[in-house]
């Protein structure tokens, strides 16, 4: 059952509709995961592997879910605010004969978190930047992680700040509700560390930072 009542969640539904979900699915089938998903996948593998259970927050059509299923995960819960992405992800899971291994949850993770079990690994690929406030999102993510928390987020550098400002300005002109947020990396790190994790690896692209934390 959908639980997507926040304005941010409604904006995600609008932004990531059927056309976008289909495009993302076809791209993944043709080219594989994007750079941040690859870095998260490889970073988790380098830190001992994902374990048997995965909670993929903001899973989209499921690239990181499927990549980690190929690397030892036996059971995944993929939470996604876009109904179209959930439908596309279920389609891909069936195509890969993984449907029995993935539970898809449509909704705002913070809203549904209390109903979800903990997992060995919790991932958030390009998700923090979709939330106006990172604290409740990362607090719940850390609470649900037994072994790893792995996240990607925009780098706090001038050219990324400029790009996000331009993108958000264009969205405002078009009347779109979706916005991208650049949260302070140091505060996010402090929050995760304060929940009992240590930073194991950090890699970057020109626009993204990719962090893998391990529970102490």
Q: Mean pLDDT over all residues of the chain?
A: 95
Q: Are the C-beta atoms of 197 and 142 separated by less than 8 Å?
A: yes
pTM score: 0.94
CB count, 10 Å around CB of 87? 18
**What's residue 7's pLDDT?**
65
Q: Where are the domains of the chain?
A: 7-215
Question: Is residue 9 very low, low, confident or very high in pLDDT (cuts 50, 70, 90)?
Answer: confident
**Lowest-confidence pick of 1-15, 38-52, 71-85, 87-101:** 1-15
pLDDT exceeds 90 at position 147: yes
Inter-CA distances, 139 with 101, 105, 144, 182, 210, Å: 26, 19, 9, 17, 18
| Lowest mean pLDDT, pick from 8-17, 38-47, 76-85, 130-139 | 8-17
Q: What is the DSSP letter of 115?
A: G
CATH topology of domain 7-215: Rossmann fold (3.40.50)
Whether the predicted pLDDT of 150 surpasses 80: yes
Say if residue 106's pLDDT is above 50: yes
Rounded Cα distance between 215 and 120, Å, is 10
Residues 95-106 have a mean pLDDT of 98
What distance in Å separates the CA atoms of residue 211 and residue 39, rounded to the nearest whole number? 9
Summarize pLDDT for 173-205 with one digit per residue, the tens: 999 999 999 999 999 999 999 999 999 999 999
């Amino acid at each position: 059952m959908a639980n997507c009542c926040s304005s941010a969640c409604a904006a995600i539904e609008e932004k990531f509709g059927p056309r976008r979900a289909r495009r993302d699915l076809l791209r993944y089938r043709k080219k594989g995961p994007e750079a941040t998903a690859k870095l998260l996948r490889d970073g988790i593998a380098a830190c001992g592997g994902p374990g048997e259970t995965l909670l993929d927050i903001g899973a989209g059509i499921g690239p990181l879910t499927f990549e980690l299923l190929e690397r030892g995960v036996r059971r995944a819960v993929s939470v996604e605010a876009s109904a179209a992405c959930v439908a596309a992800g279920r389609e891909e899971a069936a195509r890969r004969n993984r449907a029995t291994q993935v539970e898809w949850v449509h909704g705002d993770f913070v809203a549904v978190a209390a109903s979800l079990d903990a997992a060995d690994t919790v991932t958030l690929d390009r998700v923090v930047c979709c939330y106006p406030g990172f604290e409740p999102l990362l607090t719940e993510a850390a609470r649900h992680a037994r072994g790893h928390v792995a996240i990607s987020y925009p780098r706090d550098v001038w050219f990324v700040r400029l790009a996000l400002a331009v993108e958000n300005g264009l969205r405002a002109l078009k009347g779109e509700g979706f916005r991208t947020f650049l949260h302070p990396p140091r505060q996010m790190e402090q929050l995760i560390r304060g929940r009992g994790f240590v930073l194991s690896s950090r890699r970057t692209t020109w626009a993204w930072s990719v962090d893998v934390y391990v529970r102490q």
